[in-house]
Structure 1
Amino acid sequence: MPFDAAVWSATDPETGLVTAPMLVENLGSGEGCGAYWESELLEENVLPFRDLARAEVPAAGLRAATGGLPARSARFRSLLGRQGIDDELRAVLRVGGRPWGSVSLFRMRGAPAFGQDDVALLAELSGPLADRLRRFATPHGPGGEGTTPHGSGGGSTTRHGTNGAGGGGGGGSAPGLLLFDENGEATSINEEARTHLASLPDGPSTPSALGLSLPIWLIGTALQARAIAQGRDRGNARIRLRTRDGRWLTCRASCLTGSGGRPGPVVLVIEPATPADLALIVAQSYGLTPREFEIARLVAQGLATAEIAAALFISPHTVRGHLKAVFGKAGLSSRGELVARLFAG
């Protein structure tokens, strides 16, 4: 299936927000990514990723969805059309009901629009690609212990990777703080945030008045906080991502309230991921169900099979069945290995 440009990104499986790794192909240096995600999160658009994540078919073409009138979408009017793009085919990569990535494929003016066969192909690939992405969040990754996909591209391609093996919280590092004003401009930063930013892989970024470029996934998290404050979305503005040396960080943002109840600045916090954060994403990467993760958590608390059964109002036989499923999915053989793999951080 031919395409002229593309944006590929991993997403946080809980919030669906973009995180690392990200690849931008044939769209310049990636500096326009900020405007793309601002439109995605704060404007009225056709086919937003948040809707595709819940749709029966997780892929769709812009021209087909608008009856050949892509200018009905704010994203096309303010950005895509000005770049000479004529059509966009986008998909959410999901497995187990959770989004692990997103894809936007573009065709430039003069190329044919994406057809139903193109949509069907990308939709069919959604599950396999998501499964591949989520395996990188397991402690050993798909390539064995220590796997951390990483690279950098030049020219019109920006490439980087962060998912991989090992790594927990960052050894007691203090939280980093970034402040964005009501217009979305970064206005303040502490030294801890600069240290955390320096540990992140290279990738698409946007310049700031602070003298440094901010990764697009941090910008997206701050934009999501504003979208939630404006009633455009629900949930949390939060992502988890890996540093170059394999540590996990959590980034979360919240929109403060200004005078008169108006939306005020957005504060963004970057800090080492807690064991609970790591346990959840590792459990998701193995494909554990909510019930299986709940039982694994109770095992980590030292409860015996009969105690877990009583706490959850199920039979001991059912508990043993869930544990067998957990061991099989994670490639484990004992409760001790389960606790070390999921909860040791």
Structure 2
Amino acid sequence: MARHDPITQAADSLDLFTRVSARLRERVIFDAAAWSTTDPETGLVTAPMWVQNLDGGTQCYAYWECELLEETVIPFRELARSTTPAGALRWNTGDLPGRSAQYRRLRGQGLMDELRAVLRAGNKPWGVVSLFRNAGREPFGQAEIDLVAAMSASLGARLRSFARPSAAPALAGTSAPGMILFTPDGTATSINQEARHYLALLPDGPSEPSALGVRLPIWVVGTAVQARAVASERDGRTARVRIRTRDGGWIACHASCLSGPDGLPGPTALIIEPAPASDMAPIIAEAYGLSRRELEITQHIARGLATTEIAAALFISAHTVRDHIRAIFDKTEVSSRGELVARLFTENYWPLRNRPGATAYGRV
């Protein structure tokens, strides 16, 4: 890549968004934008999020509520699976944007078109971007859609690399789960002290005010909205998201809708807690580009198994195990088993099953 490529220069996800947005503006006209990382397993937005020239609270919440609960054109969940990971509202509707509930909301804010893309790596969504144009401008065209689509893989790969573990301290304070309750229409009504504690650890970003005396980040309320989408059979993805804290730790948010009397819709219960190791194994394996088999072998190495023991456990040859270990070392940039374990497991991100003195973290 070029020496001054904003993708390789970026220090973290937020820095990536600001650099790439500035460079992109040199080639594509847009009046507002929203960039966000996503949970690669569910596609739900997570921290960090960077919003330009939009209300970072109410507008963002209404946008994602509409995305998950109403009829839209080219939803992100479809772009994540599409051959082309980008599209534009007017272009994809044949200049009949009124078919989209999202457009009707945007029009009320003076916006006339949206170009959106999913930032993919390894066939998984690691981020999303939406570019907006004000009324009076020309709609986005095919050349601009193609330009943004061509950036998807490199941006997705860079976002994936930022998920690698750092020397993050353990989450201080309580380890008990936090809980927030929402009414069927999405109003937050109850919160426990543990949830307040975890919310205070999350980075700054778009948030919604609440009657609970605390602002609720879009990533948290978005998970509750996704639970409503699942309950109404509008979406089959899990209402679960992993969020990185200010100090590099990880928190998991998951939500589900409860039933009231006679099967009527009840409140939505959202749990927020330290991310269990079983949640983090897949995302960190993806961050290093490890295959499923390489992840299995890495976990066996962490348990102290010899090459022949790993081969017997996985029903493959010792030669194949050695080939996998060399690939694992290359991907994680280590030169020994000890380095590998220190880099990936000492942060207690992954479960070390059957290892003497090991602690069980979360579900296995």
Q: Is the TM-score greater than 0.5?
A: yes
Are 1:87 and 2:89 an aligned pair? no
Tell me the CA shift for residue 170 of structure 1: 4.7
Tell me the CA shift for residue 231 of structure 1: 1.4
Query: Aligned partners of 1:280 and 1:342: how far apart in 2?
Result: 12
Unaligned segments of structure 1, at least 5 residues: 141-164
Contact 1:172–1:272, Cα closer than 8 Å, also in 2 = no
Number of the residue aligned with 1:122: 148
Number of the residue aligned with 1:153: none
Number of the residue aligned with 1:101: 127
Query: Aligned partners of 2:171 and 2:246: how far apart in 1?
Result: 13
Which residue among 137, 145, 148 is the counterpart of 2:163?
137
Once the two structures are aligned, what percentage of the paired residues are identical? Answer: 62
Contact 1:170–1:247, Cα closer than 8 Å, also in 2 = no
SS in 1 for 2:58: coil
1:287/1:194 CA distance change after superposition, 3 Å:
same
1:180/1:229 CA distance change after superposition, 3 Å:
same
Farther-moved stretch of structure 1 (29-38 vs 293-302) = 293-302
Unaligned segments of structure 2, at least 5 residues: 1-27, 349-364
Contact 1:12–1:239, Cα closer than 8 Å, also in 2 = yes
Matches within 5 A, 1:321-336: 321-336=323-338
Tell me the CA shift for residue 167 of structure 1: 4.2
Residue-by-residue CA offset, 1:101-158 (whole Å, 9 max, x unaligned): 0000001111111111111111110011111112221125xxxxxxxxxxxxxxxxxx
Are 1:71 and 2:98 an aligned pair? yes
Contact 2:168–2:247, Cα closer than 8 Å, also in 1 = no
1:204/1:28 CA distance change after superposition, 3 Å:
same
Number of the residue aligned with 1:195: 197
Residue-by-residue CA offset, 1:19-57 (whole Å, 9 max, x unaligned): 001011111343211111110011111111111111111
Query: Aligned partners of 2:132 and 2:139: how far apart in 1?
Result: 9
Number of the residue aligned with 2:308: 306
Are 1:229 and 2:231 an aligned pair? yes
Number of the residue aligned with 1:110: 136
Q: Which amino acid aligns with 1:49?
A: F
Are 1:18 and 2:45 an aligned pair? yes
Q: Which amino acid aligns with 1:216?
A: I
Query: Aligned partners of 2:172 and 2:236: how far apart in 1?
Result: 29
Provide TM-score, normalisation by structure 1: 0.88
How many pairs are equivalent?
320
Query: Aligned partners of 1:285 and 1:320: how far apart in 2?
Result: 22
SS in 1 for 2:43: coil
Farther-moved stretch of structure 1 (207-216 vs 240-249) = 240-249
Number of the residue aligned with 1:215: 217
1:167/1:135 CA distance change after superposition, 3 Å:
farther
Higher RCO structure, 1 or 2 (CA under 8 Å, sep 6+):
1
